[in-house]
Homo-oligomer: A and B are copies of this chain.
Amino acid sequence: MARSWMDARQDDLEERFRAVRALSEALAAPLSDADATVQSMPDASPAKWHLAHSSWFFETFVLRDHVPGYRPFDPRYAYLFNSYYEAEGARHARPLRGMLTRPTLADVRAYRAHVDAALIDALGMLPQAGRALVTLGLHHEQQHQELLLTDLLHLFSLNPLEPALFNAPSAAPVDLPGALHWIEGREGLVEIGEDGRTGFAFDCEGPRHKAVLRPHALAHRAITNDEWIAFIEDGGYSHAAHWLSDGWAWVQTEGVEAPLYWKQGEQGWTRFGLDGRQPLNPAAPVTHVSLFEADAYASWAGARLPTEAEWESAAQNVAAISGNQLDGPACPRPIAAADGTNLTQMFGDVWEWTGSAYRPHPGFHAAAGAVGEYNGKFMSGQFVLKGGSCATPRGHVRASYRNFFYPHQRWQFTGLRLAKDL
């Protein structure tokens, strides 16, 4: 029997396959059929869809393309569960993903079992290209594990009953971390980006290339909820001066007054999470803020967001496994930084908005075929986030990892770390 997903030896593909697939199902275990079906907004997808789409990925790019004689579980699923691969033909419209009350959650679990069995069967005979696609598929599924959690959080937040997906004890109060310390970064020529030569990396993380850094420093930790409250109390959401123009328009149109899921009551601020509504933990990193908010905060604080190169260069010395990431089917929560003044919280807790637009690294070329649509075509209008969050499955993230969202989006666990010029 497979060991638990986080113990899987990285060199054993079957073990990793079993572990990653098992985590998806463990995360979905508490869901009702309805929980797994509803789509709360076009940006989000139903849990059932995540479970099916990640299976479709294996079925299509591995089983169909590399396993002779494979019979698809249901030929209609290709239409239902293709996400955005134009080369794979027509597909169900994204905003209508929540209309699929059939197939049921049980059907999708059967689909997963079918794909799992066929893939494990085939694994030993797969050519290297097929094994590489399995690896890609596992990282792909890990991305959908995080989305499954954040999409459910968004869905549950629209339910006036504010249900909790996970029963989790309220966090014990902790001391506020100390004041920000500034850690000087490298100056001059640095190298960033990965080509996947020493381990897996998505195509957009490469190629490895040089960048020039000016004298600068990064804050040793992320901005806390407590610090964000100071921003609010200083009128941060009421004055245009610190906002990007598009951000200010967004604040006014949407009536934004606090991070997503925050509410102010008689007992002070609360936030909604997968553990229900809870008092805000002042010491924890602020999360569910947009790039617009992060940028305004940085400006208000007399600082700025780090560039991707600054962040990545600093992170190259930090172990990606060190942070507060998702270790199993438990409630993801950002936690307070440990005492001290060393660089911390680089991996896990919250995705950190950078000031860098998501554009190709110099020398990037998308792969040919449908898999080439994985990243490259999204390179307009979005910003890079680094470091992973408390909802990122452990083992998924690294210094070169490039996450990307539009500047108004904030339903992921997104926060910020300040930078400044020296």
| A101 on the B face (CB < 8 A) | yes
Q: Which residue of B lies closest to A216 (CB)?
A: B362
> Which residues of A from 407 to 422 have beta carbons under 8 Å from B?
407, 421
Contacts A76-B161, A160-B92 known; A34 to B247 CB distance under 8 Å? no
Known: A38-B38, A355-B359. A32 touches B104 (CB 8 A): yes
Chain B nearest CB from A303 CB (Å) reads 11
Is A69 at the interface (CB under 8 A from chain B)?
A: no
Option from B80, B104, B163, B210 in Cβ contact (under 8 Å) with A212: B210
CA distance A378 to B247 in the complex (A): 9
> At the interface, yes or no: A197 with Cβ under 8 Å from chain B?
no
A54 contacts B by Cβ under 8 Å = no
State whether A102 and B161 are in contact (beta carbons under 8 Å apart), knowing that A246-B380, A378-B245 are contacts in the complex: yes
Indicate if the CB atoms of A155 and B359 lie closer than 8 Å. no
**Chain B residues, CB < 8 A from A179:** none
Number of copies of this chain that the complex holds: 4
- Whether the pair B211, A212 counts as a contact (CB closer than 8 A) is yes
Q: A62 contacts which chain B residues (CB < 8 A)?
A: none
CA distance A80 to B40 in the complex (A): 17
Quick check: is A381 within 8 A (CB to CB) of the other chain?
Answer: yes
Give A133 Cβ to nearest chain B Cβ, in Å: 20
**What is the bound-complex CA distance between A213 and B377, given in angstroms?**
23
Contact B362 A355 (CB under 8 A): no
Interface centre among A34, A84, A247, A377 (most CB of B within 10 A): A34
The answer to whether A359 touches B360, judged by C-beta atoms less than 8 angstroms apart, is: no
Of the candidates B104, B212, B244, B248, the one whose C-beta lies within 8 Å of that of A379 is B244
Q: How far is the CB of A349 from chain B (nearest CB, A)?
A: 24
Min distance, Cβ A411 to any Cβ of chain B, angstroms? 14
- Is A99 an interface position by the 8 A CB rule? yes
Interfacial residues of chain A within 85-127, with CB under 8 A of chain B in the complex: 86-87, 92, 96, 98-105
Cβ of A136 within 8 Å of any chain B Cβ, yes or no, is no
Contact partner of A380 (CB less than 8 A), chosen from B80, B102, B291, is: B291
Of the candidates B34, B158, B243, B307, the one whose C-beta lies within 8 Å of that of A105 is B34
> Residue of B at shortest CB range from A99?
B158
Least CB separation from A242: chain B residue: B377
Question: Closest B-chain residue to A48, C-beta based?
Answer: B34
Assuming the contacts A84-B245, A211-B212, A246-B380, asked whether A159 and B100 have C-beta atoms less than 8 A apart, the reply is yes
Residues of B near A102 (CB, < 8 A) are 32, 34-35, 159, 161, 163
Is A330 an interface position by the 8 A CB rule?
A: no
CB-CB under 8 A from A161, the residues of chain B are: 76, 80, 100, 102-103
List 24 contacting pairs A-B, 8 Å CB cutoff, sorted by A: A32-B104, A34-B34, A34-B37, A34-B105, A37-B101, A38-B98, A40-B99, A76-B160, A79-B160, A86-B241, A87-B241, A99-B158, A100-B161, A102-B161, A102-B163, A209-B212, A209-B214, A244-B378, A244-B379, A246-B381, A307-B362, A380-B383, A380-B407, A381-B381
Q: A86-B241, A211-B212, A292-B380 are in contact. List 6 more A-B contacts (CB 8 A).
A: A34-B104, A35-B101, A37-B101, A79-B160, A101-B163, A212-B212
